[in-house]
Amino acid sequence: MDLRLEGRTAVVTGASRGIGLATVRRLTAEGVRVAAAARTAPPELTGIPGSTAVPVDLTTAEGPAELISRATVALGGIDILVNNLGGVRKGITHDESFTAIGDAEWQRALELNLLSAVRTTRAALPGIVERRGVIINVSSIGARFAHPPVEYGAAKAALNNVSKALAEELGPRGVRVVTVSPGPTRTRNWEAPDSMAADLAREAGLGLDEFLAALPERMGITTGRLAEPEETAALIAFLASPHAANITGTDHRVDGGVLKTV
């Protein structure tokens, strides 16, 4: 399918790996010029034709405005904003107590998973409105799924709420806003030796490979496997395209059927 994205421009945050990197690759393959934001720019990112790496820390108060300023100069304007930056802290366990999670952990989760998207969107909004663009916020099934770490799920639930409110406010001005909510996905958060999954594997007394092999059954993943980053990237590209012109205010899950509610 031709997504009719040729010549459009996009900003993708958290672009150095996982879903963000896959999204940069997918959008550039569709002819989109992309400003790819990450704290560091690995060779996998800098070598993508059609993309410009923008090293920036979006958890700082000034980082988002800096990103949008540099991206606007590089691209000449922004049609698509993909707020993908996010992540979980290390050292979580299934049985951790709510009272053990301090202010620093809450603040870090909110800066990374909510406020970075809020600030980036706020900075990009004048240009997005002018070009009647699209905002896609990458959330998580953690927003609807009671699973540690609780501060991560709370931040993502807030992101969903912000997205819905923005869709209502900006719809009459020609701007669409949606969320995409991945479930367990083959990214560093699940496969690296210092990942969240590795923490949970150690808690269970299992090796990481053994833990991941048993994960689909333990989590009730209907498809029997973890998602691939490219699958979420393909959905993001479709939602950014004119084919999705009447889709706004919605949340789209890529979870293999983990969530069983209607």
**Which helix (H) or strand (E) segment is 193 a member of?**
none
Report percent pLDDT > 90 for the chain.
84
Alpha carbons 86 and 116: distance in angstroms, whole number? 9
Query: Sorting pLDDT into bands at 50, 70 and 90, what band is 194?
Result: confident
pLDDT classification of 96: cutoffs 50, 70, 90:
confident
Residues 6+ apart with CB under 8 A from 122: 64
**What percent of the chain shows pLDDT beyond 70?**
100
Does residue 88 surpass a pLDDT of 80? yes
pLDDT band at 192 (very low <50, low <70, confident <90, very high): confident
What residue segments make up the domains of the chain, in order of their start? 9-183+228-254, 185-226
Domain at 9-183+228-254: CATH code:
3.40.50.720
CB-CB contact of 77 with 9 (8 Å): yes
**Average pLDDT score, the chain:** 95
Residue 179 confidence class, pLDDT cut points 50, 70, 90: very high
CB contact set of 248 (below 8 Å; sequence gap of 6+):
167, 171, 176, 177, 178
At 53, phi and psi to the nearest 5?
A: -75, 135
- pLDDT on residue 223: 98
Q: pLDDT (tens digit, 9 = 90+) per residue, 218-245?
A: 999 999 999 999 999 999 999 999 999 9
Res. 122: pLDDT tops 90: yes
Q: What is the pLDDT of residue 262?
A: 87
* DSSP-derived pairing of the beta strands 51-55 and 251-254: unpaired
Higher per-residue confidence, 235 vs 196: 235
pLDDT tens profile 145-162: 888 899 999 999 999 999
3-state SS of the chain: helix, strand, coil percent to 5? 50, 15, 35
Beta bridge partners of 102: none
Q: What is the structure's pLDDT at 174?
A: 98
Among the listed residues 127, 117, 162, the one whose alpha carbon sits nearest the alpha carbon of residue 20 = 117
Give φ, ψ of 220 to 5 degrees: 70, 35
- Res. 59: pLDDT tops 90: yes
List active site positions: 152
Query: Does the pLDDT of residue 94 top 80, yes or no?
Result: no
Whether the model clears a pTM of 0.85, i.e. scores above it, the answer is: yes
pLDDT at residue 69, rounded to an integer: 98
